Structure 1
């Protein structure tokens, strides 16, 4: 298979996976009517990381197919945030979070050094998101409301993005971010499956 074809397949499958990536998690929350085990702090940090990353890519005119999934992920995360706030009886906070994110997004492009600095911190922000979810799972010891499928798809999309970054921009800062996110996504996935298996054993 030619390199261009592989790149096209990687971009297409990543986009398709991201179009439905959060759906399993959204459906689980709606069915359970509970956000137990799902970290709001993790979601907010993830949203922040997505906003910084897509703004950086757009600011420096990166090829659209390499970041097209991020607006879709941001929209899905926004729905998830509303559901978590609703089930935790804090829906009123959604207006505050929306205002903070909109203002922050505008500030990112005031000067090039601002977006460069934000991007240099983006990996730590996104890593903090994964650790927040891990801590939430460790505390609750309950992964019933956490979608293993969503985390599996997130792991795949990060792996695919390692390849597409190597094949297009070669940006080391971006590549390091995707490598770190792949490892952390797999860690969360393994933790979700571990607690799910432990729960099944208890039921038996």
Structure 2
């Protein structure tokens, strides 16, 4: 009798939170497993909850993930070391993922960070042009991008185009990261590249492999994040390798040689 009373007391205590938990973290069947049957080790339900928590965490983190990069550019008033072509290719990949996810009605927790990463990447693209004394081109870039985005998300665009765009993410990510990696190698430093942003992007793309398989079951999405993790890992390794190398230190060494 006391055990039944304990179960009733526990389920009553969780009842006010049921709507929140079922809406964002688990289906009702998992809520019943956890809080009515107290089967806390139900593997399928644990996978769902871990995926949801990771997804929401990635989305919350994405609001800030590229802010260090933006602040570093603005503080230095320089975009040295950043490749605009790499930014464009990264933006293409992010936009493709966002459009593909919306078109396939995937849950927001499976792709929401793409929205915030898109806004921050657009800002970085503008700053690269602005600090390269091409502010007019930067404004034109903003205008063209948002016009194309509206068209892409409208019913005018066939689903096949959106799928093709998502498929093109893999070569876009690879080429974009290779361009940035080559620029880092050529410069002998990572310039104004933010280490915080690079490591957060690497961690986020790794976590997204699991959440994509769990929440969407879409192999194309998961494979995109596998490629993204590998490429982000290369940049992260370069950040570590060139940790003590800065544009200023390279210039000083060059002057000493002369």
2:154 counterpart of 1:110: no
RMSD: 2.2
Structure 2 vs 1, CA of residues 69 and 99 (structure 1 numbering), >3 Å: closer, same or farther? same
Question: Deviation per CA, 1:58-117, whole angstroms, max 9, x where unpaired?
Answer: 011111111111111111112212211111001111233234323433157521221122
Conserved in 1, the CA contact under 8 Å of 2:173 and 2:231?
Answer: no
Larger Rg: 2
Which runs of structure 2 are paired with 1:51-66 in the superposition (5 Å)? Answer: 51-66=95-110
Of structures 1 and 2, the one scoring higher in RCO (CA 8 A, sep 6+) is 1
2:170 counterpart of 1:126: no
2:54 counterpart of 1:45: no
Which runs of structure 2 are paired with 1:63-102 in the superposition (5 Å)? Answer: 63-102=107-146
Residue aligning to 1:176: 223
Conserved in 2, the CA contact under 8 Å of 1:38 and 1:145?
Answer: yes
The two structures have a TM-score, normalised by structure 1, of 0.91
- What SS does structure 2 have at the residue aligned with 1:179? helix
In 1: Cα distance, 2:245 partner to 2:113 partner: 34
Residue aligning to 2:79: 35
Residue aligning to 1:197: 244
Which runs of structure 2 are paired with 1:145-184 in the superposition (5 Å)? Answer: 145-184=192-231
Residue aligning to 1:8: 52
In 1: Cα distance, 2:227 partner to 2:135 partner: 32
Structure 2 vs 1, CA of residues 89 and 201 (structure 1 numbering), >3 Å: closer, same or farther? closer
Report the count of equivalent residues: 204
Unaligned 5+ runs, structure 1: none
In 2: Cα distance, 1:96 partner to 1:128 partner: 24
